[in-house]
Amino acid sequence: MNKKLTPADLFLGILALLLISVSFYQTWLGLQQIFGPASFVIALVLSLLLLFLCWMLRNAKLEGKPTGSLVGIYIFIASFCFIANFNALYTRFMKTDIYTDELRDINKNFTTLENDVESKLSYKYNKLTTQNIEIKKKQLMEQIKDPGNKGIGTRAQSLIRDIEKLTGQKVDLLTPVGSDYEDLSERMGHQIDNMISDLSPDERALKTDLNNSALKWNKNIQDLLLLSKKEKDEMSQGLIDESLADYNKLGSRAQTVLGNEKIHFEPAVSQTQQVGKIGFAFEHAIKNFGMYQFVVLAGCILLDFVIVIIILLVTSPGGYNRNNGGSVFSNKRSGKTIIPNN
């Protein structure tokens, strides 16, 4: 049997080498979470097996032999590569979005906890009035710290008058210690809290700490979300861990101060600790399936399975016997030429 290298052989060989080389690299990255340094060797072995099976499949098809068992073995081995590839590509492609979602959820958690605690505290005024006073108080505190108009200026005085109307009480105009307007803002806030609440010292301290933490983490998270993709990926996990630790600490403290009958708190756990793990990649993709997830899925299928489909489609069965090369691109027609007699 005369086997010659044809353009189709060269094309399929280069295509298989390129696709499986990329698959090898992604498989290596995707398996590191499980196998560590050994993932390089495992990925290399899997990729070499895929290349060998591609060659075996083409030969079997050219010789007219059954290819079902070879295809089954290929799919079995390629499935491991597919899983690892999906993990690596999805983690790289969606990592920033996963971090961003987690950070926004933390902001929501702080707001929810803050509102929950507020609703369980005792105040001298009805709920609507208390909420309006709280809004004005926060605006006043921010206004006092405003770099462009620090202290109790025109806008701050207007907010104080609004608070006085809502409470029916006189607000004392405190003065800063030196140029410490941060301290002045806090003292004005405490004064207003004392005017509207019937809180114990522990409840008052909890409310203050919770409000300060909510403002702090909201600002830190918003600042981080404005950074570049690379910076977000590098810094997000640290911020998530710190903010969640503070959130869980305050939530547990709220449950202790207010009592289990008033508030039930479940500690939050960071989901981003699972980023890079195979199970998390598939779970997150299924729950949030959309265009991005589809693109990653299609890319993994392209890397691991398209080459064997192409080989099966373009290779003519028994091609060695028919055209000495087995290429569907080099078939020549043969037959008798009929010349009519004039």
- Decide if 127 is inside a domain: yes
Q: Is 148 part of a structural domain of the chain?
A: yes
Question: Does the predicted TM-score (pTM) go above 0.85?
Answer: no
Report H helices in 172-200. Answer: 181-196
Residues 6+ apart with CB under 8 A from 77: 46, 49, 50, 53
Amino acid at 219: K
Nearest-angstrom CA–CA distance, 317 and 144: 83
From the list 125, 273, 131, the residue with the least C-alpha distance to 198 is 125
Q: Which of 124-128, 291-295, 307-311, 331-335 shows the lowest per-residue confidence on average (mean pLDDT)?
A: 331-335
| Position 291 in a domain | yes
14/62 same-domain check: yes
- Write out pLDDT tens, residues 225-273: 888 888 888 888 889 999 999 999 999 999 888 888 888 888 888 877 7
Tell me, what DSSP letter sits at residue 295? H
Question: What is the per-residue pLDDT for 44?
Answer: 92
Which range of residues forms the domain containing residue 23?
7-91+280-323
Pair (23, 75) in one structural domain = yes
**288, 294, 295, 299: CA torsion to nearest 10:** 120
The reply to whether 144 and 81 lie within a common domain is no
Quote the mean pLDDT of the chain: 83
Residue at a domain's end among 198, 229, 258? 198
With 70 as the cut, is the pLDDT of residue 320 above it?
A: no
Average pLDDT over residues 176-183: 87
Per-residue model confidence as pLDDT tens digits over 276-292: 777 778 888 888 888 88
The pLDDT of residue 333? 47
d(CA 309, CA 58) in angstroms, rounded, equals: 11
Question: Do both 78 and 15 map to the same domain?
Answer: yes
Same domain, 81 and 131: no
> What does the block give as tokens for 203?
């409840």
Number of domains present in the structure of the chain: 2
- Closest alpha carbon to 281 in 107, 89, 136: 89
Same domain, 192 and 128: yes
**Distance between the two ends of the chain, CA-based, in angstroms?**
44
Q: Is residue 224 part of a domain?
A: no
Residue 55 lies in a domain: yes
Where is the domain boundary, 142, 167, 198? 198
Q: How many CB atoms lie within 10 A of CB 219?
A: 10
Evaluate whether residue 84 is within a structural domain. yes
In a domain? residue 306 = yes
Neighbours of 14 (CB within 10 A): 10
- Residues 39-77: pLDDT tens digits? 899 999 999 999 999 989 888 888 888 888 999 999 999
Same domain, 84 and 159: no
One domain, residues 134 and 87: no
| Residues 11 and 82 grouped into a single domain | yes
* Residue ranges with strand state E in the chain: none
Angle at 189 between CA 188 and CA 190, to 5 degrees: 90
Helix boundaries (H) for 66-126: 68-120
Element (H, E) at 51: helix 39-62
Task: Show Cβ contacts of residue 42 under 8 Å, excluding neighbours closer than 6 positions.
Answer: 27, 31, 35
The structure tokens listed for 285 are 């993709």
How far is it, in rounded angstroms, from Cα 93 to Cα 290?
13
Residue 152 lies in a domain: yes
Spacing of C-alpha 147 from chain mean position:
36
What is the C-alpha to C-alpha distance for residues 315 and 160, in angstroms, rounded to an integer? 84
Q: Of the ranges 107-111, 147-151, 279-283, 319-323, which is most confident?
A: 107-111
How far is 63 from 42, CA to CA, in rounded Å?
Answer: 31
Q: Please identify which residue in the block is written with the tokens 């830190």.
A: 220
Q: What pLDDT is stored for residue 97 in this prediction?
A: 84
